[in-house]
Amino acid sequence: MLKHLFIAATLTCSLQYSQAQTGAAANNVTVVAYVDAESVISAMPEFKQVESDIESYKKILEKQLKADEQALQTFYQSTMQKAQAGQLSPRQQKEAEEKLQKMQQDLQKKAMEAEQQVIAKEGELTKPLYEKFNAALKAVAEANKYNYIVDKKVMLHAGGEDATLKLKTKLGLP
């Protein structure tokens, strides 16, 4: 669900550059640290609220889609019963088929729109979380004179300093 958040955090961590000009940087020494962005983000209280809000939003949209699906099902069953009982003329059957097709298309369109709305809502709700994470990441980089901070998941070789605890401390997390 919030994979987008972790991917963005990973990219942010991978590209985080400290602007601090240090003695190490002046001597062309690159200081690299890494963090476990997933553990930091999932420990943030805001994350749990965002996750809960997104789930609630999804349930609302699912309920709306289910109501539309039920209306489609009811119309279909009613139309089939009338057709089997011979109560519909050929023109009425054709109109009912066209209406069913339109209802199905509308339902599919609403389902796609609902997916897009969930993604948009996720982005809206996670933006402050990203901003807080990035600000803390930058502060930790500057305070510890790191040139780069990468996410530990993208490291091919474990080198550098683990700054996860420093980042959690900066965010006030246990």
Could you report the per-residue pLDDT of 14-70, keeping only the tens digit for each? 444 434 334 444 557 788 899 999 999 999 999 999 999 999 999 999 999 999 999
Residue 114, pLDDT above cutoff 90:
yes
Over 60: is that where the pLDDT of 11 sits? no
What is the per-residue pLDDT for 158? 66
Number of domains in the chain: 1
Work out the burial of residue 19: count CB atoms within 10 Å of its CB; fewer than 13 is exposed, 13-18 middle, 19 or more buried: exposed
Comparing 11-20, 103-112, 115-124, 138-147, which segment has the lowest mean pLDDT? 11-20
pLDDT bin (cut points 50, 70, 90) of residue 8 is very low
Mean pLDDT, residues 138-163 taken together: 86
- Rounded CA separation 125/4 (Å): 12
* pLDDT at res. 1: 54
User: Could you tell me the CA-to-CA distances from 119 to 17, 44, 140 in Å, in that order?
Assistant: 28, 20, 30
pLDDT over 90 (residue 110): yes
Domain housing 75: 3-170
Higher pLDDT, 13 or 65: 65
Percent of the chain beyond pLDDT 90?
Answer: 66
Mean pLDDT of 97-125: 96
pLDDT score for 29 = 79
Smallest Cα–Cα separation from 110: which of 147, 39, 62? 62
Ranking 4-8, 29-33, 75-79, 168-172 by mean pLDDT, the lowest is: 4-8
| One-letter identity of residue 97 | E
Residue 162 bridge partners (DSSP): 34
User: The domain spanning residue 83 has which CATH number?
Assistant: 3.30.910.20
Mean pLDDT of 92-108: 95
The arithmetic mean of pLDDT across residues 120-138, rounded, is: 95
